[in-house]
Amino acid sequence: MKTRTKPVLGVLLALLTAASIAVFTQGDAAPKAKGCYMGRYRGDKVVHTDAEWKKTLSPEAYRILRGHDTEKACTGLYWDNHKEGAYVCAGCGLELFVSKAKFNSGTGWPSFFEPIYPENVATRPDHSFGMDRTEVYCPRCGGHLGHVFQDGPAPTGLRYCINSAAVSFIADKADEKR
């Protein structure tokens, strides 16, 4: 009997280790930006293979940033977020928008009337699904963020319609305590 105890204990230890790793990983489900890049974008690029993106991004962030998908309205983390702070790219950490430019569009997606700096977001025509839209993407890592429409409020008249899963929110110090 004694000779059988050790392998059984070994298997139990392995199972416990695997379980604790699984629990630890699950707690990290919210998209986390890798190394924030605050301020004006200065032109460097973040390049990863598709396999690397798949490994580092959450499944939802990967589906949107790399797969150009769209999350369902009113399901994301930030469409109803009213805290003060900054929204950075969930792929590379580049600062994209600040809460001062966020407004309630009634669409169920985080909406902004302007980016933090004009060069911090890039746009290109998107004719997918038989629609004429303008895609918004991250100029640093190329991640798909959402679309920009011409029906926004003053002062720009623009509506940057952004997927929550494509960004991470960094609360201002004063708002963290609320």
How many residues can be counted in the chain? 178
Of 31, 97, 17, the closest CA to residue 64 belongs to 31
Using rule CB under 5 A, residue 31 touches Fe ion: no
- Complex with Fe ion: residue 92 or 158, whichever CB lies closer: 92
169: β partners = 87
With CB under 5 A as the contact rule, the residue among 63, 66, 102, 140 that binds Fe ion is 140
**Which is closer to Fe ion, CB of 108 or CB of 114?**
114
Q: At its nearest, how many Å lie between Fe ion and the CB of residue 51?
A: 18
Beta carbon of residue 111, minimum distance to Fe ion (angstroms, whole number): 19
For Fe ion, the closer CB: 115 or 132: 115
Q: Which sequence positions are flagged as catalytic?
A: 161
Q: What one-letter code names the amino acid at 23?
A: V
Q: Which of 61, 121, 138, 170 binds Fe ion (CB under 5 A)?
A: 138
Supply the minimum distance, in Å, between the C-beta of residue 10 and Fe ion: 44
Partners of residue 162 on adjacent β-strands: 146
Map 117-141 to HEC letters: CHHHCEEEEECHHHCCEEEEECCCC
Is 141 one of the binding residues for Fe ion (CB under 5 A)? Answer: yes
DSSP one-letter code for 118: G
Query: How many residues touch Fe ion (CB under 5 A)?
Result: 8
Residues 77-96 that bind Fe ion (CB under 5 A): 89, 91-92, 94
Amino acid letter, 138: C
CA distances for 169 relative to 22, 48, 94, 113, 158, angstroms: 25, 23, 11, 17, 21
Cβ of residue 1: shortest distance to Fe ion, in angstroms?
A: 59
The pair of three-digit structure tokens given for residue 53, joined into one six-digit string = 């993106």
Taking CB under 5 A as the binding criterion, the range among 24-32, 35-43, 134-142, 169-177 that sits at the site for Fe ion is 134-142
Cis peptide before 155 (omega within 30 of 0): yes
Task: Enumerate binding residues for Fe ion (CB under 5 A).
Answer: 89, 91-92, 94, 138, 140-141, 143
